[in-house]
Structure 1
C-alpha cells in the first residue's frame, strides 16, 4: 500500500486559514483549495463570523512575521496605562491594560481606539453616545439629570464637578464613583465639606456660597426669602450659589430683634423647627412679668410679649410671674382645739406678687412658702381657742391668720389680701353631742315661748270678759260671732221664732 505524499486543504468562503509546516508559520490562506507535497503540512482555520483572531502563540508569530500578519489582522496591544475599544460591525468590546488582541480584517469592518489612562479616564462624548445601551467590562457609565450636578471621585478623591449629561469612565484599575447632588435643594449634604473647601477652592468659587463663622457669630441662610438653615458659632457650611446669608454678632447682645422673632418664632413652622435648639424663647402673657437670668445672674425684667435669645455660649433662664390676684387653698388640716377637740379645717387665701424679683431672690418656692406659713398660722389660731370660742367667733381665726401671714410676706414682695376659713368639720360624735345640746336649747326656748303665749292669751280673755260684763252690746256682738262660727259648720239651718229666742236657747245650751 502506497501512502500519498500530497495534502489538499479546502478553506470555506467565510473562513481563513494559517498554513504551518512542522509547526512553522508559512502563510495565510484565503478561501479556496490548496494542495501541498509532504506529510508535515497542516492548516488551522478560523471562522470570520467571529472577528477576534484567537491564534496560539500570537506574540511569537507577530515577532517573526509581523509584516505579513498585519495585512490580515488588526492587532491591538495595550500597555499598563492604556485601554482600548474595538468596534466590529455594530458591536464593541473593551480591552484592559497589558493585553494583546487581534481581529481579522476585511470580512467585517473593524476599528480600534487606544486610550491613555494617565491622561484621562473619561471617554470622549462621541464614544459615550455610540456605547449607549451597551454594557462593557471595565467601563462605568453615569447619567446626570438636568436638576443635578455630579461630583466625580477617583480612588475616593474629588476630581471635578459634572454638569447634566451622560458620562463614561474607565474603571479597569481604579475606583471611579459619582455622587449626585440636587440643585433644587439649596443646602445639600456636600460630601466632606472641609476637604472641598480646603483642597478645591475653584469648585467652591464656581458653584457655592461658603459661610465661615467666628466664635461670637451666628448665621441665618435664606433661599427665596425663606430661612433654610441656622449656623452656630465657629461653623462653616457650603450652599449652592443664590443663597443669602445674614451673619449676626452675638458678643454684646444675644437677644433677637422683633423682625427675627417674627420670622423664626412666630413665622412658618419650618423656621421654628430650625431654631428649636438655637433659641431660648420666653412668652410673657398680659398682666405677667418675666425675669431674665444670664449665666445665673439677673439681667432685666421682661414685659408682656414674646422674647428670644441665642443660646450659644451662655446659660439662659427665664421665669414668668402672674401679677394678678391668686388664690391658695389649704385643705384638710387636722388640728386640736385648746380643749382637745379634733377639728378639720379648710382655708382660702388671696394674694398677689408685688415685687417678683424680691420674691424670686428671697424664696426658692413661693407657693410652698405661702402654703407652709398659712398652715402654721391656722394651727396657731385654732390651737389657742376652745371649740365654743371658735364656733362663736370664726372671724377671729381669720383676723389672727391674716395678721400673721402679712408680717411673714411683706418683706418678700408678696401681698396677702384676704384670708378666710371656709369649713370647720367636727368629728361624728362631737356633732351628735352638739346636735343634742342645740335640740335641748331650742326645746327650752320653745317651752318659754309657749308659756309666755298662754299667759298673754289668758290675760286677753280676762280683759274681754270684763268689757262684755260692763257693755251688753259687746256681749251681743260676741254672741253673733259665735253664731257665725257655728253656722259655717252647718249645711242647713231652720229658724222658728225670732233671733232673740235662738240666742236665748244657745245661751241656755252653753250653761247646761
Structure 2
C-alpha cells in the first residue's frame, strides 16, 4: 500500500512513521509504501517552528534538523533577538526555540545579560516601533538626564537619546530629571552622594551644612532654595551657593532683607518659614527678645533674623501722642447724684523699655488708672461744685495719673472731662432753677433800667428849667417826631402858635 503526501510551496512537512521522526519534507509530492505514515505540515509564513518534542528530536536528529531549522538555545544568563524578515522576536533565558530557514530570512543574536542589559544602538533604531516581550525602551529628551535603575539600584546616568534594555528577569526603570530645573527632586539623594560619587562629581553640586550654617542657593542670580542647618542637598552644576554663619549673629544684612523679604513672591514663599520678620513703622521703636531675653531696640524699617535654633519675639511701640477714651462711666457724686461721664486723655511713651518691662498691658493700665482717678474726683465733690468748676476735675485726674505713669516712662499730655450727663429728673429740676434765676436776674435788670431812666428824666427836666434854649430844642425834637407820622402839615401863623396849640392839645 502506498501513501502520497502533497506539501504546498509555502509549507514544509515533518514525516513520522508510527510517531517516529523520519525526515523533513520539502514542498512537492511524496509517496511512501506501507502504513502508519503521518505528515505534519507547517506554514512557512509563520517562521517560528512549533515542533513537538523538539528537545528530544535534536538529540537524535540534530544534523538533519539544523539543515532546515535555525536552532536557538539560551542559557540562564542569555537572551536572544531573532529577525524574521521585517519582524523581530525576543527569546528569554533558558529557552529552546526554532525557526524555519529558507522561506523568510532569519538571523539571531545572542546577548550575555551578565555583561550588559543594554542593547546596542544599532538594534535600538531597528526596534524603535516594535514592542518585544522582555525589552524596555526609553526616550531621554534633550533637556533631560535619565537615571537607570535595575532592581531599584542606581546603575548610571543616561544622556539624551534612545535606549533599550533587557528586563526579562529583573526590573529595569529610568527616572528622568529636567536639566532646566536646577534643583530637581533627586531620588534618594543620600544614596547618590555616598554610593555614587562619580555621578555626583560629574553632574551635581553638593551642599552640606553644619549646625550653625544656613545656605542660600541662587541660579542665574535668582534665589531658588534656602537650606537650614545640618541639611544636605544636590543641585545641578551651575548654581551659586552662599553659606552664612549664624552662630553669633542671626540678623540678616540689609542686602539680604531686600532680597528675601522685599523680593519676588516666589522668594518670599521660600523664606517664609526660615525668617522672623519685624517691620517697624515711622515714629515707632521696635523691641527685640531672643529666647525671651531683651536684646535691644530697633529703629524704623524692616528687620529679619534666621529662626533656626532660636526663638524670637518683637514688638513695636508707638512713640507718637496717642488718645484714650474712657466713656460711659456711671459714678455717684458726693451728694449721691448719679452721673455719666466721658473722659479723654492724651499720652505718649517716652521710655519703651521701661514701659514694657513694668507693664504687660499699657493701654489696659492707663484705662484702669483713669477710671480710678475719675471716680475719686467725682466722689469727692457734690453736683454744684462739679458743675461750677469742671477744670478742678481735670486737674485732680491729671495730678493723679501723672504720678501713676511717671515710674513707667509714660507722659500724660492732657486730661479732660468731655461730657457730664445728668439723669432726666435732675435735668428738669436744674432747668427750673436756672429759669427762676434768669427770671430774677431779668427783673433786677428791668428795675435797674427803670430807675436809671427816671433819674435821667429828672436830670433833663432840671436842665430845661434852668435853660430855655434847651427846652426849645426839646420842643423841636418832639415836633420832628410828630411830623414823621403826619403826611401833610398846614401852618397858620408862626411856629410859636403851633407849639402852643400842640401843648394845649396835649393838656386837654
TM-score, normalization by structure 1: 0.96
CA distance in structure 2 between the partners assigned to 1:131 and 1:370 by the alignment: 87
Match of 1:345 in 2: 341
Residue aligning to 2:310: 314
Is 346-355 or 179-188 further displaced after alignment?
Answer: 346-355
Q: Distance in 2 between matches of 1:503 and 1:357?
A: 95
The whole-number CA distance in structure 2 between the counterparts of 1:396 and 1:463 is 49
Distance (whole Å) between structure 2 residues aligned to residue 86 and residue 462 of structure 1: 154
Question: Match for residue 465 of structure 1?
Answer: 461
Q: Equivalent residue of 2:331, what SS?
A: strand
Q: 1:18-167 residue pairs with structure 2 within 5 A?
A: 18-167=14-163
- Cα distance between partner residues in 2 of 1:466 and 1:297: 97
Please name the residue that 1:453 is paired with.
Answer: 449
Is residue 205 of structure 2 the alignment partner of residue 209 of structure 1?
yes
User: Is 2:446 the counterpart of 1:480?
Assistant: no
Return the offset for 1:8.
Answer: 1.3
CA distance in 1, matches of 2:455, 2:366: 65
Matches within 5 A, 1:488-503: 488-503=484-499
| CA–CA separation in structure 1 for the residues paired with 2:488 and 2:118 | 139
- How many angstroms apart in 2 are the aligned matches of 1:377 and 1:354? 22
How much does 1:240 deviate?
0.6
Q: Which residue of 2 aligns with 1:290?
A: 286
Q: Does 1:262 align with 2:253?
A: no
Cα distance in 2 for residues equivalent to 1:199 and 1:113: 34
Q: Which stretch has the larger CA shift, 96-105 or 61-70?
A: 96-105
| Separation in structure 2 between the aligned mates of residue 432 and residue 287 of structure 1, nearest angstrom | 49
Q: Is 1:175 matched with 2:192?
A: no
How many residues of Structure 1 are paired with residues of Structure 2 in the alignment? 508
Can you list the C-alpha shifts for 1:444-499, whole angstroms capped at 9, x where unaligned?
A: 00000001111111222222223333333333322222222222222333444443
**In the alignment, what sits opposite 2:323?**
327
Q: Are 2:412 and 1:416 aligned?
A: yes
Report how far residue 286 of structure 1 moved. Answer: 2.5
Local SS of the residue matching 2:251? coil
- The residue aligned with 1:441 is 437
The counterpart of 1:253, out of the listed 249, 252, 265, is 249
**Offset of 1:270 from its aligned partner?**
2.1
CA deviation string 1:199-225 (max 9, x = no partner):
212211111111111111111111111
Using the TM superposition, name which of 67-76 and 497-506 deviates more. Answer: 497-506
Q: SS at the partner of 2:428?
A: helix
CA distance in 2, matches of 1:344, 1:510: 66
Q: Aligned-residue CA RMSD in angstroms?
A: 1.4
What's the counterpart of residue 388 of structure 1? Answer: 384
Task: Measure how far apart 1:117 and its partner are.
Answer: 2.0
C-alpha distance in structure 1 between counterparts of 2:341 and 2:318, whole Å: 28
Partner of 2:217, secondary structure, is: strand
Shift of 1:6: 0.9
- Residue 296 of structure 2 is matched in structure 1 by 300
- Kindly state the Cα deviation for residue 154 of structure 1 after the two structures are TM-superposed: 1.4
Q: Distance in 2 between matches of 1:474 and 1:395?
A: 56
Cα displacement (A) at 1:389: 0.9
2:503 maps to 1:507? yes
Bigger mean CA deviation after superposition, 485-494 or 260-269: 485-494
- Report the Cα offset of residue 385 of structure 1: 0.8
**Counterpart in the other structure of 2:194:** 198
CA distance in 2, matches of 1:154, 1:487: 135
For 2:368, what is the secondary structure of its paired residue? helix
List alignment gaps of at least 5 residues for structure 2: none
Shift of 1:187: 0.6
Q: CA deviation at 1:358?
A: 1.2
Looking at structure 1, the residues matched to 102 and 265 of structure 2 have their Cα atoms a distance apart, in angstroms, of 72
- 439-448 or 464-473, which deviates more: 464-473
Counterpart in the other structure of 1:220 = 216
Runs (4 or more) in structure 1 with deviation over 4 Å come to none
| Structure 2 residue aligned with 1:242 | 238
CA distance in 1, matches of 2:242, 2:331: 66
